[in-house]
Structure 1
Amino acid sequence: MRAIVLAQFGDPEKSLVLKDVPMPAPRPGYAVIKIESFGINHAEMHMRKGEWAESMPIIGIECAGTIVSSLPADAIKPGTHVLTLMGGLGRTVNGSYAEFTSAPLTNIVPISPSHVAKLGWARLAALPETFATAWTCLFRNLQVEPGERLLIRGATSSLGLAAVKLATHKRAVVSATSRSPEKAGELKALGVQEVLEEGPALADELISSGRKWDKILELVGNSTLLGSLKLVRRGGRLCLAGFLGGLDSLEFNPLLQMTSGVHFSFFGSFVFGSDEFPLSDVPLEEIVGMVANGELATEPKRIFSFGEAGVREAHRLMEAGQAGGKMVVVVNKE
């Protein structure tokens, strides 16, 4: 099969190389999937640069495709359309930047043929990782309810946009931040009530004006976390789930830097499929149905063809902060 292989750590041109490699072999508890499309994610950029704790020669943490085989053989019928994410993909098993992959049965979600026919493979590739993560952050960690005031920092990232769509569908009152003021119209069209320009001074300005939110989804990361913690009301919740501002470490003393009565949690999607975080906890098939029925508006921001040129360009845009939303790669043209 053809695969984009991580030849070395570094820039996209030297790292991401198209090669012929062996097909994944069937093994117990896994299914072999013919990949039709896959999403591009920030985690893969860090894997490419050697900044992630684990990575495989073939990276990629999610895909949409069709079952070829499984062990046990009757676990999933060959020909079944599926989404898969995490479960070690790209980290401990070869991932989705390829024509085929092998994914744990625990991390595979069957999708009806009617939804595949209606949405197409490119749109399906935009859903698994971002929407499963956004749903868990919003409705498990943050426990967002209708009418609550929610601030999403980093809202024009692919994860941020998924969170905006799910939160406004839940009828939360959403405020959002973006580094690009010109994206305010896009966010307001999705139901965001207020768009704030992201920057180093934003938290101090909001704190000085006495602003507080019921819930905050922090996607910028360590560089803005301490400020965000001061913007949550007593009894409110903050969930850290992204690192758009980079992976630099942070000195954090809760005694001095955290407001009393605030609930602070972290969520990393790499836990999906573990005993404590089964993927079945996420209504992913229901979310796909909501997209198919027009309840959630979801389109990839950019669609690339499979190969060195497309994948490298996606990584260049992602690293420059110019993706503007979810980017996907279609392996076989629809």
Structure 2
Amino acid sequence: MKAIVIEKFGNPDVLVIKDVDKPEPKAGFALIRVKAFGINHAEMHMRKGEWAEWMPISGVECVGIVEACPGGEFELGTAVVALMGGLGRTINGSYAEYTNASVGNVVSLGSNEPPLPWDQLAAIPESYATAWSSLFRNLEIQKGQTLLIRGATSALGKAAVNLAVNHGVRVVGTTRNADRHQDLLTLGVEKVEQEGPDLSKRLNLRLEDKFDAVLDLIGNSVLLDSLTLVRRGGRLCLAGWLGGLAPISDFNPLLQMSGGVHFSLFRSPDFGQPAFPVSDVPIRDIVQLATDGKLNAKPTKTFSFDQIREAHRMVEEGRANGKIVVMGY
């Protein structure tokens, strides 16, 4: 089969299309003919050797057709989505014609025909599963509450905006790019703020105006600032590292956290673990919302298989403005 292989660490030019052995069907896995896959920031770090776990064939999600399933969990020909479960981290991932995905990380779409075009469907799995879990599990967001999403024009950020607005949440979004303010307003956010490390000082919120919840997708570089934006009893979820992977050099909760603020972390690699089953996420319901036009989940750009380097460059240079999808070979 054809696969996109990381032959050495480096810039997008290290991604090489070559012939490799097709995965063998095995118990506990579904062999999937990959129709399309989304591009994720984690894969940028894997390609550069900055991620603890990586495989020569990257890709943590895909959509496609079940070609073999020795355990009988899925009928052959079924349209499915697959995400995480070691894909691209401990087992070869979705940047290929075929991939073996753990059955616990595969979701049937109920028929042999996808409800959306493959490229639109591929924009959903990882981004929307992570966004849904962050919003409704970590943050326990409720209709009418106020939510700040830092990094709202990323693929994950836009997924969170869509889900929160659809749920009746009042959303404020941030972006570094002033040209993207209108994009967020069109999605239904009430207000857009310029992202930056001094956001809390610029907002200068009164105690009663602080947010019920903050979804921080920028990461460690603004975490301490995000903590000051949450009301007592409110929640902060850290679920992205758009600002880089550097750790916080000096974090003293006693001095830098307000009393009564709940802080949690969401790690998408946990999907499929006993504590975080993929079945907990209503992926088919989310797909139906997109099919019905209630979520604007379309990719911002779709590339062909042989354009993988261009796709990586667009994401790495911050030009994606949403989800980038690559069609299967």
User: In which range does the TM-score fall when normalised by the shorter chain?
Assistant: over 0.9
Match of 2:155 in 1: 158
1:138 aligns with 2:135: yes
Match of 2:2 in 1: 2
Give unpaired runs (5+ residues) of structure 1: none
Aligned pair in 2 of structure 1 residues 217, 115: CA closer, same or farther (>3 Å)? farther
Could you tell me how far apart the structure 1 residues matched to 2:276 and 2:301 are? 30
Equivalent pair of 2:66/2:74 in contact (CA under 8 Å) = yes
The 5 Å alignment of 1:7-22 reads 7-13=7-13, 15-22=14-21
Give unpaired runs (5+ residues) of structure 2: none
Q: Structure 1 stretch 19-28 or stretch 83-92: which is displaced more?
A: 19-28
Equivalent pair of 2:78/2:112 in contact (CA under 8 Å) = no
Q: Name the amino acid aligned to 1:6.
A: I
Shift, 1:293, TM fit: 1.2
Equivalent pair of 1:115/1:288 in contact (CA under 8 Å) = no
Could you tell me how far apart the structure 1 residues matched to 2:8 and 2:16 are? 9
Match of 1:218 in 2: 216
1:271 aligns with 2:270: yes
Match of 1:57 in 2: 56
Could you tell me how far apart the structure 2 residues matched to 1:109 and 1:32 are? 13
Corresponding pairs, count: 327
The 5 Å alignment of 1:120-131 reads 120-131=117-128
Q: Residue 107 of structure 2 is aligned with which of 101, 106, 109?
A: 109
Could you tell me how far apart the structure 1 residues matched to 2:246 and 2:82 are? 30
1:304 aligns with 2:303: yes
Could you tell me how far apart the structure 2 residues matched to 1:158 and 1:263 are? 25
Q: Name the amino acid aligned to 1:27.
A: K
Aligned pair in 2 of structure 1 residues 33, 91: CA closer, same or farther (>3 Å)? same
Equivalent pair of 2:79/2:112 in contact (CA under 8 Å) = no
Q: Name the amino acid aligned to 1:232.
A: V
1:147 aligns with 2:150: no
Equivalent pair of 1:207/1:231 in contact (CA under 8 Å) = no
Could you tell me how far apart the structure 2 residues matched to 1:297 and 1:114 are? 24
Match of 1:84 in 2: 82
Shift, 1:209, TM fit: 5.7
Give deviations 1:274-324, integer Å, cap 9, x for gaps: 1110000000011101111112121100100002xx111111111111111
Match of 2:238 in 1: 240
Match of 2:326 in 1: 329
Shift, 1:206, TM fit: 2.1
Equivalent pair of 1:6/1:57 in contact (CA under 8 Å) = yes
What is the TM-score when the length of structure 2 is the normalising length? 0.97
SS in 2 for 1:92: coil
Shift, 1:208, TM fit: 6.1
Equivalent pair of 1:207/1:230 in contact (CA under 8 Å) = no
Shift, 1:87, TM fit: 0.1
Could you tell me how far apart the structure 2 residues matched to 1:85 and 1:312 are? 22
Q: Name the amino acid aligned to 2:238.
A: L
Give deviations 1:89-147, integer Å, cap 9, x for gaps: 0000000000000000000000134871x411000100000000000000000001010
Percent sequence identity over aligned pairs: 54
Q: Name the amino acid aligned to 2:58.
A: I
Could you tell me how far apart the structure 2 residues matched to 1:114 and 1:230 are? 49
Shift, 1:200, TM fit: 2.4
Q: Name the amino acid aligned to 1:229.
A: L
Runs of 4 or more off by more than 3 Å in structure 1? Answer: 112-115, 207-211
SS in 1 for 2:67: strand
Could you tell me how far apart the structure 1 residues matched to 2:124 and 2:60 are? 12
Equivalent pair of 1:175/1:192 in contact (CA under 8 Å) = yes
Equivalent pair of 2:197/2:225 in contact (CA under 8 Å) = no
Match of 2:42 in 1: 43
SS in 2 for 1:119: coil
Q: Name the amino acid aligned to 1:272.
A: F
The 5 Å alignment of 1:244-263 reads 244-250=242-248, 251-263=250-262
Supply the RMSD in Å over aligned alpha carbons: 1.2
Could you tell me how far apart the structure 2 residues matched to 1:115 and 1:23 are? 24
Could you tell me how far apart the structure 1 residues matched to 2:69 and 2:289 are? 28
Shift, 1:182, TM fit: 1.6
